[in-house]
A and B are shown apart, each in its own frame.
Chain A
């Protein structure tokens, strides 16, 4: 498509707006758009049609469980941010050497907050403070290890939270699932999750000596693990 004139680029704008161009051709159109005000205006005009396409689909009510799952993660992230305090949530007021960096996004702040929270818990433990929260480093194996995933378990009484950072997404139509294994009994399901960096509540009681596992499971999760655990933490 090299050497295209304006008319040919203009002709490709429909396919460009529909994201139907192969990457190479897409890049050439993008380059042309950067220097052609007429095509930019035309694209904006056409894009409104593409933006209206979702409205044409039959409207289907999502299941209530979807909101419950989404909000569970959102609440956990928000809690983590609150626990880390105001300073973790905002950039410094005074300009420092890092002030030229892009604005902190929520995942960065959540990761930072997770780090702050873990450090805070460690400080409490090292100093002999008495919050009763233990942080246990989890073993990570397989692709998650290659991806540099970090995981730990925060246990407070019979309540546990898995804190992860940089967890790779499971394959399509699969979810990550938590399990609690007591002694040599079969692992009991303890919730599915999609969080990649942040914390996840472990459903049900976790006692000292229990193992918290994470596996990849098909569909919405399984009643028994179908794959080997890639995160293991002993409470």
Chain B
């Protein structure tokens, strides 16, 4: 990233190659339209290229930083669209499946990671999974979600917190990192 911050196009190309699939996949999952996903991914990569100097390695990996930028831009794009689109975004079942072919070991590992995370999400009680998906992939606030589901605000907040706790425990037990 130091080289990218210094304006090294080749170093940036390495970052692009390493993360383009996960970036585009997240943008597509949220936007649901290839053209919009391409636009979001392009904007995010160029934002990273132009703000490389702001990357702080103590605050997480390049991938986490990049995906945070993609998520924010995709949600901004989604918030300019209709509620219907946003509900579609939060509904994984409706997403078009155009998965990348497994060509390299990296892609196989990435696919395995996706399956593993899908299993973690799938293991959540449906009402907890739903609030996480509506918030993260649909960009809804907890108030909007409460209204949509006809549930009290406190319940929605509680479900979000419980869902993240359970996911975290599945990814890496607390004892292992404390």
A interface residue numbers (CB < 8 A to B): 11-15, 17-22, 45-46, 48-63, 65-67, 69-71, 73-75, 77-78, 81-82, 89, 103-107, 109-110, 169, 171-173, 175, 194-195, 219-220
Contact with B164, one of A17, A194, A195 (Cβ below 8 angstroms): A17
B interface residue numbers (CB < 8 A to A): 5-9, 12-13, 16, 20-26, 28-29, 33-36, 38-39, 41-43, 45-46, 49-54, 60, 64, 67, 70-71, 75, 77, 80-81, 92, 95, 97-101, 107, 110-111, 113-114, 116-118, 120-121, 132, 135-136, 140-143, 145, 154, 156-165, 167-168, 171-172, 174, 177
Per DSSP, are chain A's interface residues mostly helix, strand or loop, or mixed?
Answer: helix
**Given A15-B157, A71-B13, A175-B39; A61-B22 close (CB under 8 Å):** no
Asked whether, in the complex, the Cβ of A52 is within 8 Å of the Cβ of B161, the reply is no
Asked whether, in the complex, the Cβ of A59 is within 8 Å of the Cβ of B142, the reply is no
B114 — which chain A residues lie within 8 A by C-beta? 55-59
Asked whether, in the complex, the Cβ of B9 is within 8 Å of the Cβ of A71, the reply is yes
**Given A18-B136, A20-B141, A48-B172; A77-B28 close (CB under 8 Å):** no
From A51, which residue of chain B is reached at the shortest CB distance? B64
Q: Can you list 10 pairs linking A and B with CB atoms under 8 Å apart?
A: A12-B157, A20-B135, A49-B164, A52-B120, A54-B25, A55-B116, A63-B34, A65-B38, A74-B13, A173-B77
Separation in Å of the B95 CB from the closest CB of chain A? 7
Asked whether, in the complex, the Cβ of B118 is within 8 Å of the Cβ of A56, the reply is yes
B16 — which chain A residues lie within 8 A by C-beta? 67, 70-71
16 new A-B contacts at CB < 8 Å, known A50-B164, A107-B50, A172-B36: A19-B135, A46-B168, A48-B172, A49-B163, A53-B117, A53-B121, A54-B71, A58-B29, A60-B25, A61-B21, A61-B98, A71-B16, A81-B7, A105-B50, A173-B77, A220-B35
Contact with B100, one of A12, A48, A61 (Cβ below 8 angstroms): A61
A62 — which chain B residues lie within 8 A by C-beta? 20-21, 23-24, 38, 41
Q: A63–B25 Cα gap in the complex (Å)?
A: 11
Q: A11–B160 Cα gap in the complex (Å)?
A: 9
Separation in Å of the A203 CB from the closest CB of chain B? 17
From B23, which residue of chain A is reached at the shortest CB distance? A62
Asked whether, in the complex, the Cβ of B160 is within 8 Å of the Cβ of A15, the reply is yes
B168 — which chain A residues lie within 8 A by C-beta? 45-46, 48-49
From B71, which residue of chain A is reached at the shortest CB distance? A54
Contact with A49, one of B5, B54, B141, B171 (Cβ below 8 angstroms): B171
Separation in Å of the A107 CB from the closest CB of chain B? 4
From B163, which residue of chain A is reached at the shortest CB distance? A14
Asked whether, in the complex, the Cβ of B9 is within 8 Å of the Cβ of A74, the reply is yes
A13 — which chain B residues lie within 8 A by C-beta? 161
Q: A69–B9 Cα gap in the complex (Å)?
A: 13
**Given A54-B26, A60-B98, A63-B38; A70-B45 close (CB under 8 Å):** yes
From A46, which residue of chain B is reached at the shortest CB distance? B164
Contact with A106, one of B53, B95, B171, B174 (Cβ below 8 angstroms): B53
**Given A62-B20, A70-B46; A106-B52 close (CB under 8 Å):** yes
Q: A61–B164 Cα gap in the complex (Å)?
A: 28
**Given A45-B168, A105-B54; A14-B26 close (CB under 8 Å):** no
